Amino acid sequence: MISGASFFLSTFAGFLTCCLIQRFKLINPYILMVIMYVGINIILTASLNLINGYMGEFSVGHAGFMAVGAYVSSILTVRVFPVQHAQWFFPLALIAGGMGAGLVGMIVAIPSFKTRGDYLAIVTLAFNMIVKSAIENIDAVGGPRGFLGMSKLTTLPWIFVWTVLTLWIIRNFIYSNYGRGVLSIREDEVASELMGVHTRRVKVLTFVISSFFAGVAGGLFAHLLQFINPNSFNILKSTDILIMVYLGGIGSIVGSIIGATIFTVLLEILRPLEVWRMVIMPLVLVFLMLFRPKGIMGFRELRLFVPEQYRKAVARWRLKRKEYDAVS
Amino acid sequence: MPCLEVKNLTHYFGGLCAVSDFNLALETGELVGIIGPNGAGKTTVFNLITGIYRPTKGLIRFNGKNLTGLRPAAITARGIARTFQNIRLFNNLSVLDNVRIAHYAGMKYTPLEGIFQIGRFSDEEERISERSLELLERFNISELAETEARNLPYGMQRRLEIVRALATKPRLLLLDEPAAGMNPSEILKLIDFVRIIRKEFSLTIILIEHQMRLVMGVCERITVLDFGATIAEGTPEEIQNNPKVLEAYLGEEAAV
């Protein structure tokens, strides 16, 4: 994103716009709902992209982490936090949901990254099923009937803030030392380890960050729908997130935005086709894989999403050299 | 005290003995070559020293400290770096990033500082970028810093791999067939290059090579492997006239 002041100003302007829209109901409620779904899906897509796109591993159970975040934050807002101040405790509930998901992510990641290769796909698939059946069998949270009683705390400004925050943090992470470690694992894990990258630690760290944001997205989702049940977080939901990642482009933040937007909006536009939309979406995916397997923006990034310090490192160094040469 | 001490190193892949009773003692500053026919176990020795494989038996000591059982990254941190027979650059990353990744362990900021771009983050990034660019400049690749590694010409990729290894600040450098696929004039350049980095970075070097011109040109001592066993050791002249070596390379008939 843009540097310092202008980034801050444009974010603030966007936030104000969101507040105005929410306050004065400037947009028809249905479209508002779709926009909020797009935001949640952007968070989910960008966070999964961290593992599947940037790190080159294959995780297929992202909805499981979403479920953890959704249930943790919902239980907190309904049963723990005082109801009359619910909106003030909402961000706390979301962060707690994210941390719950992150903790579970760590428990999944530590054993599964002890081995190399494709085991992660199997482990995450199993994890997704375990979470779903576990929730179905806990009567205290409604079991298969689901959990309700949340007030509609997710509003457009909140969606905006969390989406921007997620993208900003993921961008910063990718363009840091640890992010370079993540990329080098994708490129060549053995060489990466031999260059001194503590690959296992980097993998677990990446997995935790990714599941944290899946948990936050789950919390936002729960307080938008005001009802969650285990079936909202089954393998199909995980597949949807995978589709958004590979549609928009692996290893790209702008790709995550594009993928989540196209997928969500297209599903809504195709709603009149009823069952047929479930035929059209997979077909889109098949053609995409045939003609552009990296996705629309695969491995490409808008300048906007590359930190200035990173982008101009070489130019700055050349300038410094020139000045140095001129003096001596 | 020897810089690197390898004792009775033995490694089995299932029932196949890849390296048997390999011994090597290296004084600081030495340049030793390991030669041998294909499949003789040369690269396996490197993989054992750098921790990619755990030896079935044997001892590897570096500056008096035992290395066996350490993670590859931990061994790199102690000052051993290597290149690969088939170039293993981070192909889709820029030349600069390839070198910056080699500074991973030298970066002193926590993940949280990186995520929120606070604390030591900016200064450390700046320091590492500058250091990487200076290293690239030293070997005339700084012009290509922003090119993706896979787009470099072949010889340049070989050179970048060595530069990347140097960025981890090694005391001991392992070069695995650095001249593979090079023509005679490129090999002459490589010989100079190896001599220069050895002096400038005060390195101890082990070199695996097929190109006799290179081995005989730069190495002070040579160890010859065949089927995992050490069949000869000595100066280049001694090796050149050793009947066992000729036999391993050319077959029994020719040696007679």
**Whole-angstrom distance, CA of residue A89 vs CA of residue A82:** 8
B132: pLDDT strictly greater than 70: yes
ipTM of the complex: 0.92
Nearest to B104 among A169, A195, A313 (CB): A195
Give the count of domains, chain A.
Answer: 1
- Tell me the pLDDT of chain B averaged across its residues: 91
Residue B71 lies in a domain: yes
Q: What is the DSSP string of A71-91?
A: HHHHHIIIIIS-GGGHHHHHH
Contact B107 A172 (CB under 8 A): no
Do B100 and B165 share a domain, yes or no? yes
Task: Please state the pTM of the whole predicted model.
Answer: 0.94
Q: In CATH, what number is assigned to the domain containing residue B64?
A: 3.40.50.300
Residue A119 one-letter amino acid: Y
Three-class SS string for A2-41? CCHHHHHHHHHHHHHHHHHHHHHCCCCHHHHHHHHHHHHH
Going by the DSSP 8-state scheme, the letter that residue A250 receives in this structure is T
B35: pLDDT strictly greater than 60: yes
Nearest to B109 among A177, A199, A205 (CB): A177
pLDDT at position B253: 58
Q: In CATH, what number is assigned to the domain containing residue A277?
A: 1.10.3470
User: Average pLDDT for residues A17-44, to the nearest whole number?
Assistant: 94
Terminal C-alpha separation, chain B: 41
User: Hey, CA dihedral for A168, A170, A172, A175, is it positive or negative?
Assistant: negative
Residue B212 lies in a domain: no
B120: pLDDT strictly greater than 70: yes
Do B40 and B107 share a domain, yes or no? no
pLDDT at position B211: 79
Do B150 and B112 share a domain, yes or no? yes
pLDDT in tens, A107-147: 999 999 887 667 899 999 999 999 999 999 999 999 999 99
Residue A163 lies in a domain: yes
Do B74 and B92 share a domain, yes or no? no
Query: What confidence category does residue A2 fall into, taking pLDDT thresholds of 50, 70 and 90?
Result: very low
Using a CB-CB cut-off of 8 Å, the residues of chain A touching B76 are: 193-196
Do B98 and B33 share a domain, yes or no? no
Report the run of H or E that residue A219 belongs to, with start and end: helix A199-225
Residue % of chain B over a pLDDT of 70: 98
Do B190 and B134 share a domain, yes or no? no
Residue A62 lies in domain: 30-327
Q: Give the A-side interface with B, CB within 8 Å.
A: 169, 172-173, 176-181, 183-184, 187-188, 190-199, 205, 209, 299, 307, 309-310, 313-314, 317, 320
Do B38 and B162 share a domain, yes or no? no
B112 to chain A: closest CA residue: A173
Do B120 and B192 share a domain, yes or no? no
**Whole-angstrom distance, CA of residue A213 vs CA of residue A95:** 9
Give the count of domains, chain B.
Answer: 2
pLDDT at position A64: 98
Query: What confidence category does residue B254 fall into, taking pLDDT thresholds of 50, 70 and 90?
Result: low
A3: pLDDT strictly greater than 70: no
Residue A121 lies in a domain: yes
pLDDT in tens, A236-256: 999 999 999 999 999 999 999
Contact B121 A176 (CB under 8 A): yes
Q: Look at residue A92 and give its three-state secondary structure.
A: helix
Do B63 and B16 share a domain, yes or no? yes
Contact B101 A310 (CB under 8 A): no
A1: pLDDT strictly greater than 70: no
User: Hey, CA dihedral for A119, A125, A128, A134, is it positive or negative?
Assistant: negative
pLDDT at position A208: 98
**Whole-angstrom distance, CA of residue B79 vs CA of residue B166:** 10
pLDDT in tens, A207-216: 999 999 999 9
pLDDT in tens, B217-229: 889 999 999 988 8
Residue A12 lies in a domain: no
> Among A141, A107, A139, which Cα is nearest to A124's?
A107
pLDDT in tens, A42-80: 999 999 999 999 999 999 999 999 999 999 999 999 999
pLDDT at position A226: 96
Nearest to B88 among A188, A198, A205 (CB): A188
How distant is the Cα of B133 from the closest Cα of chain A, in angstroms?
8
pLDDT in tens, B134-163: 999 999 999 999 999 999 998 899 999 999
pLDDT at position A115: 74
Residue B136 lies in domain: 88-169
B49: pLDDT strictly greater than 80: yes
User: Average pLDDT for residues A21-43, to the nearest whole number?
Assistant: 94
A171: pLDDT strictly greater than 90: yes
Residue A176 lies in a domain: yes
Domain termination residue (choose one: B169, B194, B228): B169
Using a CB-CB cut-off of 8 Å, the residues of chain A touching B119 are: none
**Whole-angstrom distance, CA of residue A263 vs CA of residue A237:** 13
B77 to chain A: closest CA residue: A196
Residue % of chain A over a pLDDT of 90: 76
A190 to chain B: closest CA residue: B52
CA A250 to chain centre: 13
Do B136 and B70 share a domain, yes or no? no
Query: What confidence category does residue B256 fall into, taking pLDDT thresholds of 50, 70 and 90?
Result: very low
Question: A5-19, A62-76, A206-220, B47-61: which has the minimum mean pLDDT?
Answer: A5-19
User: Average pLDDT for residues A268-284, to the nearest whole number?
Assistant: 85
Q: Give the B-side interface with A, CB within 8 Å.
A: 50, 52, 71-73, 76-77, 81-82, 84, 88-93, 96-97, 100-105, 107, 109, 111, 114-117, 121-122, 124-126, 128-130, 133, 145-146, 164, 168
